[in-house]
Amino acid sequence: MHLARFPRLHLAHLPTPLEPMPRLSKELGCEIWIKRDDCTGMSTGGNKTRKLEFLMAEAVEMGADMVMTQGATQTNHGRQTAAFAAKLGMGCHILLEDRTGYNNDNYNGNGNVLLDHLHGATTEKFPGGTDMPAEMEKAAEAERAKGKKVYVIPGGGSNPTGALGYVNCAFELVGQANDRGLVIDRLVHATGSSGTQAGLVTGMKAINSGIPVLGIGTRAPQPKQEQMVYDLACRTAEKLGCPGVVAREDVMANTDYVGEGYGLPTESGLEAIRMFAELEGILLDPVYSGKGAAGLIDLARKGEFEGQRIVFLHTGGSVGLFGYDFAFRG
């Protein structure tokens, strides 16, 4: 599998560490390791760095002078896209959808929003339920009419190009495990716009690793989440030159930990954030990695991982804590 055939900017801090979590493992009674993709670099890091290495390389190849993307108000993807654009001297415009209805100052101006602006990006707000891809196309056309060369990145950077970043992560993780003689029984992580899981599943299958990937949902119900991941995995496998390598049953998502909706903190997610912070000194977030860890913790408590070695992929997001400070009061 020859990823070097694809344009890529080598800006991520790789390989990310693969570390044991002894205190959390003891608490949960099973062996849990963590893959630190919160440490990928570019505006603190997170899962978007790996995707943007491939996406922004395409932007450079097409001679773009501006990138545009969209997401929720506290989008991590927007913040990291803004950092890449700054590094490459491109303009960046981010369309923000109000998916929560929170009107407090920190949610709307701190955390990721603060950093979007620090990186020089412009932002524009839209009400929840807006057709964001359509709005982004309109905004891109308006910029093109002014002479800008705009590269449009879908929400979460989730298309076959972005997913290559997580094909690469699968290769990296298997390499680390092989070097250390560490058998991994399962990989668990938060899944949303689907590019992370699609890339991981495709990569794991393409090299016949035998490592199952379990996505913990943060937004969509299970059938929709799994279908989204599967569709993107199929397109990613085609791009890689191994069509058909992913079967529908390779895609597994558990969406029991979404709670009331996307971006709305849950008790189990907040408990997971506190446990990782207090037991391992690791910061999660209430929108993605906290809900992913809530699934990990609950399934471990139910004995689903008994006798297994689990790797939790930390996809980042802790910048969002500063937009969600209200969730930790009282």
Ligand X SMILES: Cc1ncc(COP(=O)(O)O)c(C=O)c1O
Nearest approach, Cβ of 71 to ligand X (angstroms)? Answer: 7
According to DSSP, the β-strands at 66-72 and 91-98 are parallel
Total interface residues for ligand X by CB under 6 A: 20
Of 192-231, binders to ligand X (CB under 6 A) are 192-197
Report the SS3 class of residue 188: strand
Residues 42-71: x/- map of binding to ligand X (CB under 6 A)?
----xx------------------------
Looking at the Cβ atoms of 48 and 186, the one nearer to ligand X is 48
Q: Which of 8, 35, 77, 99 binds ligand X (CB under 6 A)?
A: 77
Shortest distance in whole angstroms from residue 235 CB to ligand X: 14
Closest listed residue to residue 259, CA positions, set 244, 269, 271: 269
| Stretch of residues binding ligand X (CB under 6 A), selected from 14-22, 54-62, 248-256, 284-292 | 284-292
Helices (H), the chain: 22-28, 48-61, 76-88, 105-109, 112-118, 132-145, 160-180, 195-206, 222-240, 267-280, 289-301
CB–CB of 191/215 below 8 Å?
Answer: yes
Q: How far is the CB of 165 from ligand X (least distance, A)?
A: 9
Residue placing its CB nearer to ligand X in the complex, 65 or 250: 250
CA distance 280 to 230: 33
Other C-beta atoms closer than 10 Å to the C-beta of 241 total 11
Residue 287: both structure tokens together:
């929108």
Residue 202 or 315 with smaller CB distance to ligand X:
315
Cβ closer to ligand X: 91 or 192?
Answer: 192
* Interface with ligand X, residue 74, by CB under 6 A: no
CB of 318 to ligand X, least distance (A): 8
User: For residues 188 and 318, what is the distance between their CA atoms, to the nearest angstrom?
Assistant: 18
Alpha-carbon distance of 226 to 217, in angstroms, equals 9
Whose Cβ is closer to ligand X: residue 125's or residue 144's? 125
Q: Verify binding: residue 81, ligand X, rule CB under 6 A.
A: no
Q: Which helix (H) or strand (E) holds 68?
A: strand 66-72
Q: How many CB atoms lie within 10 A of CB 86?
A: 17
Cβ proximity to ligand X: between 150 and 198 the closer is: 198
Q: Near ligand X by CB under 6 A, which window of 100-108, 173-181, 206-214, 282-290?
A: 282-290
H/E segment holding residue 186: strand 186-191
Nearest to ligand X of 197, 202 (CB atom) = 197
* Residue nearest ligand X, Cβ-based: 317
For residue 22, how many other CB atoms are within 10 A of its CB? Answer: 13
Residue numbers 140-199 binding ligand X by CB under 6 A: 156, 158, 190-197
Query: Among 22-30, 100-108, 247-255, 311-319, which window interacts with ligand X (CB under 6 A)?
Result: 311-319
Name the β-bridge partners of 252: 214
In the complex with ligand X, the residue whose CB is nearer, 190 or 273, is 190
User: Is residue 317 a contact point for ligand X (CB under 6 A)?
Assistant: yes
Residues 6+ apart with CB under 8 A from 211: 170, 173, 174, 184, 185, 186, 187, 204
The one-letter code for the residue type at 176 is: Q
Residue 315 is a binding residue for ligand X (CB under 6 A)? yes
Task: Output the smallest distance, CB 166 to ligand X, in A.
Answer: 7
Distance CA(80)–CA(10), nearest Å, equals 15
Contacts with ligand X, residue ranges (CB under 6 A): 46-47, 76-77, 156, 158, 190-197, 285, 288-289, 315-317
